[in-house]
Amino acid sequence: MTSARRLGVAVDFSSCSIKALQWTVDNVVKEGDHLILIVVRQPAHYEHGEMQLWETTGSPLIPLSEFSEPAVMKKYDFKPEPEVIDIVQTAARQKSIMVIMKIFWGDAREKLCDAVTQVPLDSLTMGNRGLGPLQRVIMGSVSNFVVNNASCTVTVVKS
């Protein structure tokens, strides 16, 4: 018997990341897998309470039963999109998988690479905003950085 795979999906609740989540559920997830939603928020969102404790390591692993409850997510000052909740609840039911969320605060490029080793992840799927060459030079590309620096397989789902 093999151990469950830990499949990460970077989710920022944009249409690109939701598409990457749906693609992962449709094409990669198998019965018994652990689907781990990796959320990276800007540092300004953790300036109060216990969230300061999680600046370096990210939040504890949050099971689906908790991150689908608004009252629980209030302590993280965060509200997941209903579409994402619907996708993962359906996947958990239909494919018998465990769904977990982990929230990080900071630079998305660095924190996604950190998640690969801290969780740890067997693979990571992420969306791509489709920046043009000039925008990519000015703003940088999170997906390009993660593909080149993560220690696991990274799949980029184009928008």
Strand order in the sheet with 34-41: 62-63, 98-105, 34-41, 6-10, 123-128, 153-158
Domain count of the chain?
1
Q: What are phi and psi of 62, to 5 degrees?
A: -110, 115
Write down the pTM of the prediction. Answer: 0.88
CATH number at residue 143: 3.40.50.620
Position 26 scores a pLDDT of: 97
pLDDT digits 0-9 by tens, 78-109: 788 899 999 999 999 999 999 999 999 889 99
Determine how β-strand 6-10 pairs with β-strand 153-158.
unpaired
Position 80 scores a pLDDT of: 85
Instruction: Let me know if residue 1 belongs to a domain.
Output: no
Instruction: Let me know if residue 40 belongs to a domain.
Output: yes
Instruction: Let me know if residue 72 belongs to a domain.
Output: yes
Instruction: Let me know if residue 28 belongs to a domain.
Output: yes
Q: Write 144-148 long-range contacts (CB < 8 A, 24+).
A: 145/109, 145/113, 146/10, 146/109, 146/112, 146/113
Instruction: Let me know if residue 122 belongs to a domain.
Output: yes
Instruction: Let me know if residue 30 belongs to a domain.
Output: yes
Identify the domain containing residue 18 by its residue range: 6-158
Position 133 scores a pLDDT of: 54
**8 Å CB contact between 102 and 119:** yes
Position 61 scores a pLDDT of: 92
* Spatial separation of the C-alpha atoms in residues 93 and 97, rounded to whole Å: 7
Instruction: Let me know if residue 106 belongs to a domain.
Output: yes
Indicate if the pLDDT at residue 152 is higher than 60.
Answer: yes
Position 22 scores a pLDDT of: 97
pLDDT digits 0-9 by tens, 131-147: 555 444 444 588 889 99
